[in-house]
Amino acid sequence: MASASLSATPRNERGTGVARKLRQEGQVPAVIYGHGREPQSLALNARDVDKLLSTISAASTVIELSFDGRTARTLIREIQRHPVKRSLVHLDFQELVAGEKVTVSVPLRFVGVADGVRNGGGILEETMHQLHLRLDPASIPDHIDVDVTPLTIGHSIHVRELALPEGVSVLDDVNATVCVCTAPKAVVEATATPEAEAGAVAEPELIRKVKPEGEEETK
């Protein structure tokens, strides 16, 4: 389980004007909510948050959030950024409760070189990059490994074939394709060329209406 730490300052003032002033001062307005607690407004150092987000997978990293003399284990549930400047606008944190399962997005990590790539010049196409899981917060994995080594050309790996930690429920379609090894492009084009050339050479048949004998063709 990946984890990181952040410090925050509780705040009582709310509203657009207050949030704008915080951002001008280099802070990010935030809120922490969770089962059995009232939402608490917070302020965080924008530079610290940006630095942290550049080094973690925000959707699956447990954040030890310190504020008001206590520490809460949380997950970042929403990150709002300015549509043009991409600066931080607001963050939502969910406090984790022991024994209470949560839903997270965990990145997939492709391991090895597919047999079809190594020996057949094939191409590995990654069609999924994360899994949506429901599990206990203490069991959140950093990533899910996908071993592509035995994959040959024309074959795929599906969600149902992945090795997952015990007690984890997959929310994605178990029959969804995670990756597929396809034939090299040059081979595909070479196979299709004869038919394509045949189609290019063929000329359309010219059909004319047969005129009665003695009738002259008009121009």
Domains of the chain, by residue range, sit at 3-97, 103-199
- Architecture of the domain spanning 3-97: Beta Barrel (2.40)
Q: How many CB atoms lie within 10 A of CB 113?
A: 13
Burial 144-174 (b: 16+ CB within 10 A, else e): bebebeebebeeebebeebeeeeebebeeee
As given in the structure block, the two tokens for residue 20 are: 């704008």
User: In this predicted model, what pLDDT tens digit does every residue of 182-213 receive, in sequence order?
Assistant: 998 765 555 555 555 555 554 544 444 444 44
Measured CA to CA, the distance from residue 54 to residue 20 in angstroms comes to 23
pTM passes above 0.85 = no
Chosen CATH of 103-199 out of 2.170.120.20, 3.20.20.220, 2.60.40.420, 3.80.30.20: 2.170.120.20
Given a cut of 90, whether residue 126 has pLDDT beyond it is yes
Helix (H, G, I), strand (E, B) or coil at 126: strand
User: In this predicted model, what pLDDT tens digit does every residue of 49-102 receive, in sequence order?
Assistant: 999 999 998 888 999 999 989 999 999 999 999 999 999 999 999 999 888 899
